[in-house]
């Protein structure tokens, strides 16, 4: 039933797949040019920073929500080990650097990596389409908790953690195609790399 | 005239079979293992259509199937992805069929692999990323497997009906 030439087709496809595997290992990841007009906003839903206005600036979507915390800490003079606004990969004297970062790409725009310092939730809103994604993060994992999309594939893709991200088919990614949202769980080193690439591009 | 009537009836029948298979497939939870993966049972009907009704009619059936299943189950977004996969898959199947010495399994495997490739390609264009190449490679490999399965099914049906799917130039 199967013919010699059919095996040729299979062989050709295997070569294609092998080529794709090779290319997936390297090659520059084209960072989307951060367009300030992107109608995407992101808000942290943590109780201590819930009511702060969401920042639409694409470079640092979380600066607005972390600012109130830092304003409180000087008054009590307690050391704040988790400086959320610090540059990715920067050494902290307390050694409290987050091990994992969340990299969000929405509508072709890649945002600055977000350090995962505690369990919290982020909500990504696209004002023009009404699309909404809620991302649940812990210190070492990322999960799409809620999405307005029709197929819910992103929610079903489950948890990406530092432990399982090499074993997953989609590796460190969670993709929501209808809302054009891509989440990646990256390590501190990768976050530093992303920051370096951004500087090269900008 | 009578032949034309038969052809129309057969086409309608095939579209409905494809829609039912598409629905049955959505009940099989393969997506948890590899996101977005399907066996592509409906593709065995298209394969059958290529051999029995010819290339043009099979292409039309593919378009009708994509439109109808998009409207009933998937929505506009899913429709775009199945259209991208469907067109690429159909093109691949028709090309491979013209290669002398290939059989229905080669046609089926090429179609399934290209269907998956087309869908991920569209996803990469939509997301403007090249990070899905690894996923694309996996889906091409998966397509070889699922294409084999649907090819065996179409081959068996054609054989039972007296067609010769192993011939170089088989026709209705």
**Number of helices and strands in chain B (H, E):** 6, 0
- Is A35 near chain B, with CB under 8 Å? no
d(C-alpha B126, C-alpha B76), whole Å: 14
pLDDT of residue A59: 38
**pTM beyond 0.80, yes or no:** no
pLDDT of residue B37: 79
d(C-alpha A161, C-alpha A163), whole Å: 5
Contact A113, A186 (CB under 8 A): yes
d(C-alpha A136, C-alpha A121), whole Å: 4
Mark yes or no for CB contact B144/A182 under 8 Å.
no
Of all residues in chain B, the one with the smallest CA distance to A182 is B127
pLDDT one-digit tens code per residue, B127-138: 888 888 999 999
**Does residue A162 sit in helix, strand or coil?**
coil
d(C-alpha B14, C-alpha B58), whole Å: 10
Is the ipTM higher than 0.90? The answer is no
pLDDT one-digit tens code per residue, A143-197: 999 999 888 889 989 999 999 998 888 889 999 988 999 999 999 999 999 888 8
d(C-alpha A132, C-alpha A126), whole Å: 6
A68 CB neighbour count, 10 Å cutoff: 12
Task: Report, as an integer, the average pLDDT of B72-78.
Answer: 82
Tell me the chain A residues in contact with residue B127 when contact means C-beta distances shorter than 8 Å: 105, 108, 175, 177, 180, 182
pLDDT at residue B124 above 50?
yes
- Is B167 near chain A, with CB under 8 Å? no
- Best of A8, A15, A143, A169 to disrupt the B interface by mutation (most B CBs within 10 Å)? A169
The radius of gyration of chain B's CA atoms, rounded to the nearest angstrom, is 16
């Amino acid at each position: 039933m199967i013919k010699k030439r059919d095996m040729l087709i299979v062989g050709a496809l295997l070569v294609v797949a092998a080529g794709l595997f090779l290319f997936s290992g390297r090659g520059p990841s084209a960072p989307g040019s951060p367009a300030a007009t992107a109608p995407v906003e992101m808000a942290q839903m943590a109780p201590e920073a819930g009511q702060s206005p969401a920042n639409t600036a694409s470079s640092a979507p979380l600066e607005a929500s972390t600012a109130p915390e830092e304003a409180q800490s000087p008054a009590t003079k307690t050391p704040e080990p988790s400086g959320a606004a610090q540059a990715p990969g920067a050494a902290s004297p307390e050694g409290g650097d987050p091990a994992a970062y969340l990299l969000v790409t929405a509508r072709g725009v890649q945002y600055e990596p977000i350090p995962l310092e505690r369990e919290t939730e982020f909500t990504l809103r696209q004002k023009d389409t009404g699309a909404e994604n809620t991302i649940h993060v812990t210190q070492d994992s990322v999960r799409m908790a809620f999405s307005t999309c029709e197929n819910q594939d992103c929610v079903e893709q489950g948890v990406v953690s530092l432990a399982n991200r090499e074993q997953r088919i989609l590796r460190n990614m969670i993709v929501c195609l209808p809302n054009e949202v891509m989440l990646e769980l990256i390590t501190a080193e990768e976050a530093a790399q992303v920051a370096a690439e951004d500087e090269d591009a900008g | 005239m009578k032949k034309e009537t038969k052809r129309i009836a057969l086409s309608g029948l095939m579209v409905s079979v494809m829609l039912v298979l598409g629905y049955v497939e959505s009940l099989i939870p393969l997506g948890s293992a590899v996101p977005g993966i399907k066996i592509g049972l409906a593709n065995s009907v298209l394969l059958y259509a290529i051999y029995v009704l010819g290339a043009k009619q099979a292409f039309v059936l593919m378009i009708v199937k994509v439109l109808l299943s998009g409207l009933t189950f998937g929505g506009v977004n899913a429709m775009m992805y199945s259209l991208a996969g469907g067109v690429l898959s159909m093109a691949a199947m028709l090309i491979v069929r013209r290669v002398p010495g290939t059989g229905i399994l080669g046609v089926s495997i090429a179609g399934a692999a290209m269907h998956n490739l087309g869908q991920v390609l569209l996803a990469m264009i939509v997301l403007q990323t090249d990070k899905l190449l690894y996923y694309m490679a996996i889906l091409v490999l998966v397509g070889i497997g699922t294409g084999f399965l649907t090819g065996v099914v179409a081959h068996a049906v054609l054989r039972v009906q007296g067609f010769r799917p192993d011939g170089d130039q088989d026709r209705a």
